[in-house]
Amino acid sequence: MQPESIAERRDKWRPVSARRCATIRRIRVGIAFVAASKDQDSKTDRHSVVESSRQDVGAFNPRLIVVSGMLLGFKIELADAPVIIGRASECGLALPHSSVSRQHCRIWRENGRYLIEDMASTNRTFLNGQPVTRAELRDGDQISIGSNAIKFFVGASMESSYHHELIDLAIYDSLTGFYNRRHFRTLLDEEVEKAKNSAALSLLMLDLDYFKDVNDRHGHLVGDQVLSAVAQVIRECAPSSAPIGRLGGEEFALALRGATLAAATALAETVCTAVAACPIAAPVMETGESRLAVTISIGVAQTGANCATSSELLRSADAALYRAKEGGRNRVCCAGPM
């Protein structure tokens, strides 16, 4: 068995971000249509809308998907080797939460069936709401481990597709394909904790310049085009392993694992230059031109004595971003000496 790493799971959106955004829009439109329909004879229901939005699901191996908890959306495919679930980092599925025992339970294959067994955990293992010592897993079963909920799926069922869609809606921003604010903050908390025992973590805070003027002058549709295009530039400049989030409006954040402050600042300069060099294909009413020039300001900070928590790191990067704005925009400012 080769479990999918956290980094691999988080980075899966990169090559399929456009398809995910389209899928999220389809499911939202579909659910809104069903809710608004007054035709009592209609044969369209919520399940058929969700199912039709994932025609490309294909076949799946038996797998576990975290549907509630800190690792929401994490997936691990099951094979012949046993999988131990627990708080310890060496577990096949590590759930870093105090409600989870170091080795909480194990799942293994036996005679073509998958079984689950509690490993004398403090808070017990629950299967579909009932405490279990040992039981056989069936498609769609829900496993509760501390404050985490995990679904077991055998194939590409309708329920499996439904959970995939809900996880997408819960984690990703539909316009850019980046993580939404809530999920990015969760990831940042985790990365800051890891950085205490390893190389420092750097954070870029990015904010489009004069974006309100873009919306006021050209409309929100053009504003969305600008955000989507700038997000693509950021994606192309950033390392494939870097978590990126849309914190709100025109503000983004990018975390760099193990990057020095100088390296993070150099990347920020690259992003700043790339955005300024790529006018957005959008109509400009005043001039009749078809491209709109935009720029971005960036603040850079790093974990350390004064940035021991994710909140402190965000405040430090935000203060540097403020100085970039005050200094004339379209520039990078760094928190502290490099």
Which among 325, 334, 305 is positioned nearest to 196, based on CA atoms?
A: 305
Instruction: For residue 2, give the 3-state DSSP assignment.
Output: coil
| Number of C-beta neighbours around residue 165 at 10 A | 23
Contact residues for 303 (Cβ-Cβ < 8 A; gap 6+)? 192, 195, 196, 200, 201, 202, 313
Site of tokens 């790093």: 302
Report the greatest alpha carbon distance in the chain: 72
Residues with active-site annotation: 250
The torsion angles phi and psi of 117, rounded to 5 degrees, stand at -140, 130
113 vs 135: CA distance, rounded Å = 10
Instruction: Tell me the torsion sign for CA atoms 231, 233, 236, 237.
Output: negative
